[in-house]
């Protein structure tokens, strides 16, 4: 059970990192981080979509990392409790 959860959490983190790299590369390629007239007044719809996807990914990324961290802390707490009772 523990191995399955470790594999799933590693796969989740890797997929988030890969999606981050792809998203940042795409947004940079489209010129969304340049200071232009279109970007200042948010006229480029592709850049608006990039910005929105980056925000949504960041929001869920933080939630996933907190969940994985909490899970490992609870497992560590169980391990310490077992060691004390042994």
Q: What is the pLDDT of residues 11-41, one digit of tens each?
A: 888 888 899 999 999 999 999 999 999 888 9
Contact criterion met (CB below 8 Å) for 10 and 26: no
> How many Å apart are CA 62 and CA 36, to the nearest integer?
30
Is residue 50 predicted with pLDDT exceeding 70? yes
Neighbours of 45 (CB within 10 A): 9
Q: Domain residues of the chain, as ranges?
A: 2-85
**pTM of the full structure:** 0.71
Is the pLDDT reported for residue 67 higher than 90?
A: no
């Amino acid at each position: 059970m523990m191995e399955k959860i470790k594999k799933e959490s590693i796969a989740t983190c890797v997929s988030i990192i890969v999606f981050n790299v792809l998203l940042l590369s795409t947004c940079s390629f489209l010129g969304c981080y340049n200071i232009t007239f279109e970007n200042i007044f948010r006229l480029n719809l592709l850049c608006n979509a990039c910005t929105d996807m980056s925000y949504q990914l960041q929001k869920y990324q933080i939630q996933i990392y907190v969940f994985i961290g909490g899970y490992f802390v609870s497992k560590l707490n169980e391990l310490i409790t077992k060691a004390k009772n042994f």
